[in-house]
Structures are given as C-alpha cells and as structure tokens.
Amino acid sequence: MLVEEPCYLAALQTFALAGARVIGVPYVDDELDLDALEQLAAEHRPRFFYSVPTFQNPTGRTHDVAARSGIADIARRRGFRIVEDEPYRELRYSGDPLPSLAEYAPEHVISLGSFSKVIAPGLRIGWVRATPDIRPSITIAKQAADLHTSTVDQAAAAHYLASGRSDSALARIREAYAARRDAMLDALPDALPPGSAWNRPDGGMFVWARLPEGFDAAESLSGALSNDVAYVPGLSFYSGTPDPRTLRLSFTTYAPARITAGLSRLGASWGTGR
C-alpha cells in the first residue's frame, strides 16, 4: 500500500503488524507529489493509498481541492482504494472546509472518523464509511479485533450527540485551539534555530518544522527535555528514509501562555548561544 511520507505513526505500526508492504509518496514542499503518486501506483499496483487529507498527523498538511481531485483521478485510473482518515476535519480554525476525498471518488474511498478529538479520547468510538462490497470484510475484521464496541460508550455518544451540545462544544474547542496555534506560530521565530522552516496549518493539532542544515531533531531532543520542553522528532513518521531535520510540534494541550513559555525554553535549548 501507499502512504503519505511522512505518515501517521500508529497507522505505519498497524500496517507493519498486518504484514503490508508500505511505500511512501513524497511531498514537494507542502504539496503531495501527484506525479510520484501516479508513478508509484503504476509501478507497485497498490490496493490502498492511506491518507490523512486534512490537518495531517504529523505535518498539519491539508490536500487542497486540486490535490484532492488529482488523488481521486489517480485512484480511479490505477484502480486502488483510498483510506481517508479524518480525525481532525472538524478542528478547522481558518480557511474554508474542503470536500472529502469520498466526494470525488465515492466508489474508491473508505472514510474513517473518530470521536477522540471532538468529544473525548476516553470514548473509544470511531466510524467508517465504506462501499457495500467491502462492508462484510470490515465487519469480520472488527469482530476478530474486539467482538464489538462498548455499548456503554455508544449510548454515551448517542446521548451526547442528541443533546445538541456538540456544536457549541466544538466552537469552544476551535476557539481555544486557534489561540494555541497562534501562540505557537508567534513564538516559533525565536524558538527554532535561524534558517528553520515550518508551516502554518489552518487546523488540527500539529505544526511541522525543519531545522537548518547540520541539525538533527532526535539528537537535539535531550537538550530540549533538559529544559522541560518536548517535541517529537520527525524520523518515526517515515516509512522510508527519514529527514532527520524534521520535528512535530503539538499545540493543543496547553494554554497560550504556557506554549509561549515552553517555546522560549525550547529556544534556549539549542546550545548555539543565539
């Protein structure tokens, strides 16, 4: 199967456990390389392309309308299915919502969602939208994995959704997370070494950064940790050769002032006297 490179770590682990052969599709800057997707699909004839199209983990990247249309065209032409994983779709703080990949190629897309990021991660409920031909296989795989999802969780989620409180809760979450994202983006110029680059996601939980030539995010982590601040080195998120200069920064857990303070400590951790 094909994946975005880099890709959500737990997905890579799941595919490895299942014995899948996984090939990463590269990006050109923040855009998926559609020519590479077409070429890798022709060469490897994959059954699936796994994508987090909106505010991806770990990069915060989002496929724009042209990319979505292009991915769908390639899936139709090359005959693979797209597994569209959308845990972050509702966490948009700027820009306009985008159509799901399923709108472009409904017969080729399996869409996944989760309540973890919009209600609570303690509620172990997700959902899947699939074409009828694949539903029996999904049902059997689910039964083999855990027999069924907790009926207590399902009743709690149904009760919550029926209460009508989710819209206002989501509005509060978006407002809080937007302020945290902005605090991070404001502080990053002084927190990363000169020559670093990062993106400015319209939503989700993550900013993806790249340190300048000569830096290694995994090696620098111990310095950050000794300053009581952490990030995730990017290398774990690659199915192929990692870029050791990349790192993932998460902005949703703490209030803006704490993010500012943490990034100030990160800025002091690089040991270059800057």
Chain contacts with a copy of itself (rule: CB under 8 A): 10, 13-14, 17, 120-124, 144-153, 156
Residue 208 and residue 238: Cα distance in Å, rounded?
A: 13
Least Å distance between CB 148 and a copy of itself? 8
Q: Which residue has the tokens 């083999």?
A: 144
Nearer to a copy of itself, 21 or 142 (CB): 142
Least Å distance between CB 72 and a copy of itself? 30
Nearer to a copy of itself, 85 or 202 (CB): 85
Least Å distance between CB 120 and a copy of itself? 8
- Residues whose CB falls within 8 Å of the CB of residue 45, separated by 6 or more in sequence, listed in order: 78, 79, 80
Question: Would you give the DSSP letter of residue 51?
Answer: E
Nearer to a copy of itself, 152 or 257 (CB): 152
Cβ–Cβ < 8 Å for 74, 51? no
Least Å distance between CB 153 and a copy of itself? 5
Largest CA distance in the chain: 61
Nearer to a copy of itself, 126 or 212 (CB): 126
Least Å distance between CB 262 and a copy of itself? 25
Closest residue by Cα to residue 72 from 53, 90, 58: 53
Nearer to a copy of itself, 43 or 146 (CB): 146
Cβ–Cβ < 8 Å for 3, 49? yes
User: Any idea how long the chain is?
Assistant: 274
Residue 2 and residue 38: Cα distance in Å, rounded?
A: 11
